[in-house]
Amino acid sequence: MRLGGDALTSVEQAAIDRVIANGVIVAAAGLIQAAAALAGGPVAHRSWDDPGALGQRRGPRPTPGPSANAGGLGIPGWGATLCSMTRVFRVPLGAGEVAFALPEGMRGTSVTARPAEPLPDLDAAVRDALARPVAGPRLHELAAGARSACVVVTDVTRACPEDRLLPPLLAELAAGGIADGAVTILVAAGLHRPMTAAEKSAGFGEAVVARYRVVDHDAFEPAGLVDLGAVAHGVPAVVNRIAVEADLLVATGIVEPHQFAGLSGGRKTVALGVADEATIGATHGVAMIDHPGTRLASLDGNPSTRRRPRSPSEPASASSSTSSPTKMAGR
Protein backbone atom coordinates (compact mmCIF):
# COMPACT_ATOMS: atom_id res chain seq x y z
CA MET A 1 0.00 0.00 0.00
CA ARG A 2 1.35 3.42 -0.93
CA LEU A 3 0.39 6.55 0.96
CA GLY A 4 0.64 9.97 -0.65
CA GLY A 5 3.58 12.20 0.15
CA ASP A 6 6.88 12.45 -1.73
CA ALA A 7 8.87 13.10 1.45
CA LEU A 8 8.55 9.51 2.65
CA THR A 9 11.56 7.26 2.47
CA SER A 10 11.30 3.56 1.67
CA VAL A 11 11.99 2.74 5.34
CA GLU A 12 9.24 5.09 6.51
CA GLN A 13 6.82 3.71 3.95
CA ALA A 14 7.52 0.14 5.06
CA ALA A 15 6.91 1.13 8.67
CA ILE A 16 3.63 2.84 7.75
CA ASP A 17 2.44 -0.19 5.83
CA ARG A 18 3.22 -2.28 8.88
CA VAL A 19 1.23 0.04 11.14
CA ILE A 20 -1.78 0.00 8.84
CA ALA A 21 -1.60 -3.77 8.42
CA ASN A 22 -1.92 -4.12 12.18
CA GLY A 23 -4.96 -1.88 12.32
CA VAL A 24 -3.33 0.76 14.47
CA ILE A 25 -4.34 4.01 12.77
CA VAL A 26 -6.20 5.44 9.76
CA ALA A 27 -9.79 6.56 9.94
CA ALA A 28 -12.10 7.13 6.98
CA ALA A 29 -13.50 10.59 6.36
CA GLY A 30 -16.37 11.51 8.64
CA LEU A 31 -15.70 8.74 11.25
CA ILE A 32 -14.25 11.09 13.84
CA GLN A 33 -15.89 9.51 16.85
CA ALA A 34 -15.01 6.03 15.62
CA ALA A 35 -11.40 7.10 15.26
CA ALA A 36 -11.40 8.32 18.85
CA ALA A 37 -12.77 5.01 20.09
CA LEU A 38 -10.35 2.91 18.06
CA ALA A 39 -7.40 4.97 19.24
CA GLY A 40 -8.02 3.70 22.78
CA GLY A 41 -6.49 6.77 24.39
CA PRO A 42 -4.20 9.68 23.59
CA VAL A 43 -1.78 9.22 20.73
CA ALA A 44 1.06 10.34 22.97
CA HIS A 45 0.44 7.24 25.10
CA ARG A 46 -0.74 4.91 22.34
CA SER A 47 -0.06 1.25 23.03
CA TRP A 48 1.03 -0.22 19.74
CA ASP A 49 0.10 -3.92 19.67
CA ASP A 50 2.56 -4.97 16.99
CA PRO A 51 4.20 -8.31 17.88
CA GLY A 52 7.44 -7.01 16.39
CA ALA A 53 9.59 -4.16 17.56
CA LEU A 54 7.00 -1.45 16.90
CA GLY A 55 6.00 -0.74 20.51
CA GLN A 56 8.42 0.91 22.88
CA ARG A 57 7.94 2.25 26.38
CA ARG A 58 9.07 5.78 25.85
CA GLY A 59 9.38 7.97 22.80
CA PRO A 60 8.94 11.59 21.83
CA ARG A 61 5.44 12.97 21.86
CA PRO A 62 3.98 13.13 18.35
CA THR A 63 3.68 16.60 16.92
CA PRO A 64 0.21 17.32 15.53
CA GLY A 65 -0.35 19.73 12.73
CA PRO A 66 -2.64 22.77 12.91
CA SER A 67 -6.01 21.90 14.40
CA ALA A 68 -9.51 23.13 13.75
CA ASN A 69 -12.91 22.49 15.28
CA ALA A 70 -11.41 21.07 18.47
CA GLY A 71 -13.91 19.59 20.88
CA GLY A 72 -14.05 17.42 23.97
CA LEU A 73 -14.69 13.71 23.66
CA GLY A 74 -17.27 13.73 26.44
CA ILE A 75 -15.50 11.03 28.48
CA PRO A 76 -15.73 11.76 32.23
CA GLY A 77 -12.30 12.34 33.72
CA TRP A 78 -10.54 12.04 30.37
CA GLY A 79 -9.27 15.38 29.18
CA ALA A 80 -8.78 14.65 25.50
CA THR A 81 -9.28 16.84 22.48
CA LEU A 82 -10.07 15.66 18.98
CA CYS A 83 -8.42 17.70 16.27
CA SER A 84 -8.85 17.74 12.54
CA MET A 85 -5.44 17.38 10.98
CA THR A 86 -3.59 18.55 7.94
CA ARG A 87 -2.24 16.06 5.40
CA VAL A 88 0.88 15.11 7.43
CA PHE A 89 0.66 12.84 10.48
CA ARG A 90 3.40 12.00 12.96
CA VAL A 91 3.09 8.85 15.06
CA PRO A 92 5.47 7.14 17.51
CA LEU A 93 7.67 4.42 16.05
CA GLY A 94 10.29 2.74 18.22
CA ALA A 95 12.24 5.43 20.05
CA GLY A 96 11.35 8.04 17.43
CA GLU A 97 8.47 8.92 15.16
CA VAL A 98 7.43 8.62 11.53
CA ALA A 99 5.57 11.10 9.33
CA PHE A 100 3.09 10.10 6.64
CA ALA A 101 0.25 11.47 4.56
CA LEU A 102 -3.15 10.00 3.77
CA PRO A 103 -4.36 9.39 0.22
CA GLU A 104 -6.38 12.07 -1.50
CA GLY A 105 -9.99 12.09 -0.32
CA MET A 106 -9.27 10.68 3.16
CA ARG A 107 -9.22 12.63 6.39
CA GLY A 108 -7.48 11.44 9.54
CA THR A 109 -7.79 12.49 13.16
CA SER A 110 -5.49 12.42 16.16
CA VAL A 111 -6.44 12.22 19.84
CA THR A 112 -4.07 13.88 22.30
CA ALA A 113 -4.31 14.37 26.04
CA ARG A 114 -4.50 17.79 27.64
CA PRO A 115 -1.19 18.74 29.25
CA ALA A 116 -0.70 17.64 32.86
CA GLU A 117 2.01 18.41 35.36
CA PRO A 118 4.22 15.37 36.06
CA LEU A 119 4.71 14.15 39.61
CA PRO A 120 7.57 16.09 41.23
CA ASP A 121 8.93 12.90 42.84
CA LEU A 122 7.69 9.65 41.28
CA ASP A 123 9.54 7.37 43.70
CA ALA A 124 8.08 9.16 46.71
CA ALA A 125 4.61 8.98 45.17
CA VAL A 126 4.93 5.23 44.67
CA ARG A 127 6.06 4.70 48.25
CA ASP A 128 3.19 6.83 49.50
CA ALA A 129 0.67 4.88 47.40
CA LEU A 130 1.91 1.59 48.82
CA ALA A 131 1.81 2.98 52.36
CA ARG A 132 -1.73 4.33 51.95
CA PRO A 133 -3.78 2.02 49.73
CA VAL A 134 -7.03 3.30 48.25
CA ALA A 135 -8.84 0.33 49.78
CA GLY A 136 -7.86 -2.66 51.89
CA PRO A 137 -4.72 -3.45 53.89
CA ARG A 138 -1.16 -2.69 52.85
CA LEU A 139 0.59 -5.10 50.52
CA HIS A 140 2.93 -6.47 53.19
CA GLU A 141 -0.14 -7.32 55.29
CA LEU A 142 -1.66 -9.22 52.37
CA ALA A 143 1.66 -11.00 51.93
CA ALA A 144 1.73 -12.21 55.53
CA GLY A 145 1.30 -15.98 55.56
CA ALA A 146 1.52 -16.32 51.78
CA ARG A 147 4.00 -18.89 50.52
CA SER A 148 4.28 -17.48 46.99
CA ALA A 149 3.48 -14.36 44.99
CA CYS A 150 2.99 -13.57 41.32
CA VAL A 151 3.46 -9.99 40.14
CA VAL A 152 1.88 -9.47 36.72
CA VAL A 153 3.58 -6.62 34.85
CA THR A 154 3.09 -4.95 31.49
CA ASP A 155 5.28 -5.73 28.49
CA VAL A 156 7.25 -3.47 26.17
CA THR A 157 4.11 -2.25 24.37
CA ARG A 158 2.87 -0.37 27.45
CA ALA A 159 4.32 2.89 28.75
CA CYS A 160 4.27 1.84 32.40
CA PRO A 161 7.29 2.74 34.59
CA GLU A 162 7.73 -0.79 35.92
CA ASP A 163 11.36 -0.11 36.83
CA ARG A 164 10.13 2.47 39.34
CA LEU A 165 7.13 0.49 40.60
CA LEU A 166 8.72 -2.90 41.13
CA PRO A 167 11.51 -2.21 43.71
CA PRO A 168 9.23 -0.76 46.43
CA LEU A 169 6.48 -3.24 45.57
CA LEU A 170 8.85 -6.19 45.90
CA ALA A 171 10.16 -4.73 49.16
CA GLU A 172 6.60 -4.85 50.51
CA LEU A 173 6.38 -8.55 49.62
CA ALA A 174 9.67 -9.20 51.39
CA ALA A 175 8.44 -7.29 54.45
CA GLY A 176 5.44 -9.61 54.47
CA GLY A 177 7.70 -12.65 54.65
CA ILE A 178 7.72 -13.87 51.03
CA ALA A 179 11.19 -14.96 49.99
CA ASP A 180 12.67 -13.67 46.73
CA GLY A 181 12.72 -17.19 45.32
CA ALA A 182 8.97 -17.52 45.88
CA VAL A 183 8.17 -14.44 43.78
CA THR A 184 7.53 -14.71 40.03
CA ILE A 185 7.29 -11.64 37.81
CA LEU A 186 4.91 -12.63 35.02
CA VAL A 187 5.01 -10.50 31.88
CA ALA A 188 1.49 -9.86 30.57
CA ALA A 189 2.37 -10.38 26.93
CA GLY A 190 -1.11 -11.30 25.74
CA LEU A 191 -0.56 -12.44 22.16
CA HIS A 192 2.57 -10.33 21.77
CA ARG A 193 6.04 -11.76 21.29
CA PRO A 194 8.22 -12.43 24.37
CA MET A 195 10.33 -9.55 25.59
CA THR A 196 14.05 -9.68 24.89
CA ALA A 197 16.57 -9.82 27.71
CA ALA A 198 17.60 -6.24 26.95
CA GLU A 199 13.98 -5.06 27.06
CA LYS A 200 13.45 -6.72 30.42
CA SER A 201 16.56 -5.14 31.91
CA ALA A 202 15.56 -1.72 30.59
CA GLY A 203 11.90 -2.05 31.50
CA PHE A 204 12.10 -3.74 34.90
CA GLY A 205 15.58 -2.77 36.07
CA GLU A 206 18.74 -4.86 35.92
CA ALA A 207 18.74 -5.52 39.67
CA VAL A 208 15.16 -6.84 39.60
CA VAL A 209 15.81 -9.10 36.60
CA ALA A 210 18.94 -10.51 38.23
CA ARG A 211 17.26 -11.14 41.58
CA TYR A 212 13.82 -12.46 40.65
CA ARG A 213 12.34 -15.05 38.30
CA VAL A 214 10.87 -13.27 35.25
CA VAL A 215 8.59 -15.29 32.95
CA ASP A 216 6.94 -14.28 29.67
CA HIS A 217 3.30 -15.36 29.42
CA ASP A 218 2.69 -17.86 26.60
CA ALA A 219 -0.92 -17.86 25.38
CA PHE A 220 -0.30 -20.92 23.22
CA GLU A 221 1.10 -23.34 25.82
CA PRO A 222 -1.77 -25.46 27.25
CA ALA A 223 0.31 -26.83 30.11
CA GLY A 224 0.84 -23.32 31.42
CA LEU A 225 -2.87 -22.38 31.40
CA VAL A 226 -5.87 -23.02 33.66
CA ASP A 227 -9.54 -23.01 32.65
CA LEU A 228 -11.54 -20.96 35.17
CA GLY A 229 -14.87 -21.28 33.40
CA ALA A 230 -16.45 -18.37 31.56
CA VAL A 231 -17.72 -14.84 32.03
CA ALA A 232 -21.00 -13.52 30.68
CA HIS A 233 -21.95 -14.36 27.09
CA GLY A 234 -19.80 -17.49 27.21
CA VAL A 235 -16.45 -15.72 26.95
CA PRO A 236 -13.85 -18.25 28.17
CA ALA A 237 -11.62 -17.41 31.12
CA VAL A 238 -8.39 -19.32 30.56
CA VAL A 239 -5.37 -17.73 32.24
CA ASN A 240 -1.77 -18.41 33.17
CA ARG A 241 -1.23 -21.18 35.72
CA ILE A 242 1.42 -19.23 37.63
CA ALA A 243 -1.06 -16.43 38.31
CA VAL A 244 -3.81 -18.84 39.37
CA GLU A 245 -1.70 -20.97 41.70
CA ALA A 246 0.14 -18.15 43.50
CA ASP A 247 -1.00 -17.43 47.05
CA LEU A 248 -0.86 -13.70 46.35
CA LEU A 249 -1.50 -12.09 42.95
CA VAL A 250 -0.45 -8.50 42.29
CA ALA A 251 -0.90 -6.57 39.05
CA THR A 252 0.62 -3.31 37.85
CA GLY A 253 -0.37 -1.41 34.71
CA ILE A 254 -1.61 1.85 33.26
CA VAL A 255 -5.23 2.94 33.54
CA GLU A 256 -6.49 4.50 30.33
CA PRO A 257 -9.66 4.32 28.21
CA HIS A 258 -9.91 1.06 26.28
CA GLN A 259 -12.23 0.39 23.36
CA PHE A 260 -13.16 -3.13 24.53
CA ALA A 261 -12.56 -3.38 28.28
CA GLY A 262 -13.73 0.14 29.10
CA LEU A 263 -10.54 0.86 31.02
CA SER A 264 -7.13 -0.69 30.62
CA GLY A 265 -4.94 -1.81 33.50
CA GLY A 266 -6.15 -3.39 36.73
CA ARG A 267 -8.16 -6.53 36.07
CA LYS A 268 -7.36 -6.36 32.35
CA THR A 269 -3.64 -6.82 33.01
CA VAL A 270 -4.46 -10.25 34.42
CA ALA A 271 -7.70 -11.21 32.69
CA LEU A 272 -6.32 -10.58 29.19
CA GLY A 273 -2.60 -9.95 29.56
CA VAL A 274 -2.04 -13.50 30.81
CA ALA A 275 -4.99 -15.18 29.03
CA ASP A 276 -5.03 -17.72 26.21
CA GLU A 277 -5.70 -17.03 22.53
CA ALA A 278 -9.40 -17.93 22.69
CA THR A 279 -10.05 -15.60 25.63
CA ILE A 280 -8.24 -12.69 24.02
CA GLY A 281 -9.93 -13.32 20.69
CA ALA A 282 -13.40 -13.45 22.25
CA THR A 283 -12.88 -10.18 24.10
CA HIS A 284 -11.48 -8.34 21.08
CA GLY A 285 -13.98 -9.48 18.45
CA VAL A 286 -16.90 -7.89 16.64
CA ALA A 287 -19.46 -9.23 19.09
CA MET A 288 -17.68 -7.52 21.97
CA ILE A 289 -17.36 -4.12 20.30
CA ASP A 290 -21.03 -4.29 19.22
CA HIS A 291 -22.29 -5.08 22.73
CA PRO A 292 -24.26 -2.13 24.20
CA GLY A 293 -22.24 -2.35 27.42
CA THR A 294 -18.91 -1.91 25.63
CA ARG A 295 -18.08 1.76 25.99
CA LEU A 296 -14.87 3.73 26.17
CA ALA A 297 -13.88 4.57 29.78
CA SER A 298 -16.90 2.75 31.27
CA LEU A 299 -17.02 -0.50 33.26
CA ASP A 300 -20.75 -0.52 33.97
CA GLY A 301 -22.40 -3.25 31.95
CA ASN A 302 -19.19 -4.29 30.20
CA PRO A 303 -19.65 -7.97 29.31
CA SER A 304 -16.09 -8.85 30.31
CA THR A 305 -16.68 -7.83 33.94
CA ARG A 306 -19.51 -10.20 34.80
CA ARG A 307 -18.93 -13.88 35.62
CA ARG A 308 -21.28 -16.60 34.40
CA PRO A 309 -21.76 -19.51 36.86
CA ARG A 310 -20.38 -22.78 35.56
CA SER A 311 -23.08 -25.16 34.38
CA PRO A 312 -23.29 -28.50 36.26
CA SER A 313 -22.67 -30.25 32.95
CA GLU A 314 -19.37 -28.42 32.39
CA PRO A 315 -16.22 -30.15 33.63
CA ALA A 316 -14.38 -28.40 36.40
CA SER A 317 -10.79 -27.31 35.82
CA ALA A 318 -8.32 -30.06 36.67
CA SER A 319 -6.45 -27.71 38.94
CA SER A 320 -9.36 -25.80 40.43
CA SER A 321 -9.82 -28.25 43.30
CA THR A 322 -6.14 -28.38 44.15
CA SER A 323 -5.16 -24.73 43.79
CA SER A 324 -5.15 -22.67 46.94
CA PRO A 325 -7.35 -19.54 46.88
CA THR A 326 -5.44 -16.62 45.45
CA LYS A 327 -5.51 -13.25 47.14
CA MET A 328 -5.43 -10.36 44.69
CA ALA A 329 -3.93 -6.93 45.11
CA GLY A 330 -3.83 -4.08 42.65
CA ARG A 331 -3.26 -0.38 42.60
Q: Render pLDDT for 308-322 as a digit per residue (tens, 0 to 9).
A: 444 555 444 333 322
Read off the pLDDT band of 111 (50, 70, 90): confident
pLDDT of residue 267: 80
CATH number of 122-330: 3.40.50.11440
- Report which of residues 35 and 205 the model is more confident about: 205
pLDDT at residue 118 tops 70: yes
Whole-Å CA distances, 321 to 146, 228, 286, 307: 19, 11, 34, 19
The pLDDT value given to residue 327:
54
User: How many C-beta atoms surround the C-beta of residue 288 within 10 A?
Assistant: 20
Whether this prediction's pTM lies above 0.75 is answered by no
Worst-scoring range by mean pLDDT, 75-89, 130-144, 160-174, 289-303?
75-89
pLDDT of residue 304: 67
Of residues 235 and 2, which shows the higher confidence score?
Answer: 235
d(CA 89, CA 94): 16
The residue among 70 and 129 whose pLDDT is bigger is: 129
pLDDT in tens, 149-172: 999 999 999 889 999 999 999 999
Angle at which helix 197-204 crosses helix 162-175, to 10 degrees, equals 70
Which pLDDT score is estimated for 312?
Answer: 52
Determine how β-strand 96-101 pairs with β-strand 109-113. unpaired
- Tell me the average pLDDT of the chain: 74
Of residues 327 and 242, more confidence is placed in 242
The answer to whether 158 and 45 are in contact (CB under 8 A) is no
- Which of the listed ranges 3-12, 28-37, 103-112, 123-132 does the model predict with the highest average pLDDT? 123-132
Q: At what angle do helices 122-131 and 162-175 cross, to 10 degrees?
A: 30
Please give the share of the chain, as a percent, with pLDDT higher than 90.
42
pLDDT tens digits along 48-74: 333 333 333 333 434 444 333 333 344
Confidence of residue 228 (pLDDT cuts 50, 70, 90): very high
**In the chain, where does the domain assigned CATH 3.40.50.11440 lie?**
122-330
pLDDT tens per residue across span 274-289 = 999 999 998 888 888 8
Asked whether the predicted pLDDT for residue 185 surpasses 70, the reply is yes
Active site residues: 192, 258
Instruction: Provide the Cα torsion 34, 35, 40, 45; round to 10°.
Output: -160
Per-residue pLDDT at 318: 33
Residue 225 has pLDDT above 50, yes or no: yes
- What is the arithmetic mean of pLDDT over 219-246? 92
Q: Of 100-109, 120-129, 146-155, 189-198, which range is least confident?
A: 100-109
